[in-house]
Amino acid sequence: MDTTIAQRIADATGSAVDQAGSLGGGHGARLYGIVLADGRELVAKAATTSTTLDLEGTMLRYLAEHSRLPVPEVFLAEADLLVMSRLANRGRMSAAAQAHAAELLADLHGVTGPEYGFEQATLIGPLHQPNPCGDDWIAFFRDHRLLHMARKALAEGEIGNRLMQRIERLAERLGDLIGPPAPPTLIHGDMWGGNVLVDGDRISGFIDPAIYYADPEIELAFSTLFGTFGEPFFRRYAELRPIRPGFFEQRCDLYNLYPLLVHVRIFGSSYVGAVERIVGRHIP
């Protein structure tokens, strides 16, 4: 690790860096596992190309201040360096862990706001996520999630004009397809397995958020996309916060168009087929 980074960590934590080892990297940053001289264990994320690590720190601090969701403590959040506590991650996503995750997310989804959106733009992975506030969820999801990400994918050559036209036609029908939404609720926003840390049969924390106030069904949908959670999660969640009829049959797929388009932009055409299949269920 660069000595300048080690000194910045020491200044932020009040303890010298005793050990530092690479944890890999991605999305324009390299991760380090840190052990301080006083024994505390941290994770440092140092930018290689990204200059938005301060925003990730802002989102983690917001969750810590406005909810009971377990997240890393942030010691330093600057554009090129994020330093946070290291949470245990030494279990598997058992049925008990899924039930605990359901309790934590149901509690998070009890945090409501006056409008959909957020006080500033955020990120999902490395991608810009606009959050203009408003009281119309359908318009927010249509314009600032579905169409925003699809148009970016079109401009980058990841999807073609015909698929874009079909997505636009689908967007016009969202009011009928989604129906009345839930009130604005704080969500983590990037709910896949890599962002959920497990310790035994318990969840130790959530990382890499993409927060805003939303209909929480968009979070529940995302959690199904890569098999993060299954029946044990949804059974326990529904005991705490009822899931409206039609979610699994229709709205889940519609909401997953957004993270799928995110993956199209980050990882390329291998995800386009999944987008086409969902769109094709509604638009010939």
Q: Each residue of 232-250: pLDDT tens digit? A: 999 999 999 999 999 999 9
Residue 38 has pLDDT above 90, yes or no: yes
Task: Write down the residue that tokens 């890999």 correspond to.
Answer: 24
What is the pLDDT, as a whole number, of residue 154?
Answer: 98
The reply to whether 208 belongs to the active site is no
Residue 191: is it exposed, middle or buried by C-beta count within 10 angstroms (0-12/13-18/19+)?
buried
Out of 190, 208, 215, 253, the active site residue is: 190
What is the pLDDT, as a whole number, of residue 138?
Answer: 98
Residue 224 has pLDDT above 90, yes or no: yes
User: How far apart (Å, rounded) are the C-alpha atoms in residues 10 and 61?
Assistant: 20
Residue 26 has pLDDT above 80, yes or no: no
Residue 46 has pLDDT above 80, yes or no: yes
Distances from the Cα of 274 to the Cαs of 42, 157, 227, in angstroms? 37, 17, 15
| Amino acid code (one letter) for 182 | A
Do 220 and 252 contact (CB within 8 A), yes or no? yes
What is the pLDDT, as a whole number, of residue 43?
Answer: 97
Residue 8 has pLDDT above 80, yes or no: yes
What is the pLDDT, as a whole number, of residue 270?
Answer: 94
The domain ranges of the chain are 3-85, 95-280
Mean pLDDT, to the nearest integer, of 30-40?
96
Mean pLDDT, to the nearest integer, of 76-94?
95
User: How far apart (Å, rounded) are the C-alpha atoms in residues 126 and 130?
Assistant: 13
What is the pLDDT, as a whole number, of residue 212?
Answer: 98
What is the pLDDT, as a whole number, of residue 91?
Answer: 82
Do 33 and 86 contact (CB within 8 A), yes or no? yes
Give the list of residues 6+ apart from residue 105 with CB closer than 8 angstroms, or none: 69, 188, 191, 219, 237
What is the pLDDT, as a whole number, of residue 24?
Answer: 85
Query: Domain 3-85 adopts which CATH fold?
Result: Phosphorylase Kinase; domain 1 (3.30.200)
What is the pLDDT, as a whole number, of residue 284?
Answer: 83
What is the pLDDT, as a whole number, of residue 48?
Answer: 86
Residue 27 has pLDDT above 80, yes or no: no
More confident residue, 25 or 227: 227
User: How far apart (Å, rounded) are the C-alpha atoms in residues 206 and 153?
Assistant: 28
Mean pLDDT over the full length of the chain:
96
pLDDT in tens, 163-203: 999 999 999 999 999 999 999 999 999 999 999 999 999 99
Both tokens of 246, joined, read 């039609």
What is the pLDDT, as a whole number, of residue 28?
Answer: 80
According to CATH, the superfamily of the domain at 95-280 is Aminoglycoside phosphotransferase (APH), C-terminal lobe (3.90.1200.10)
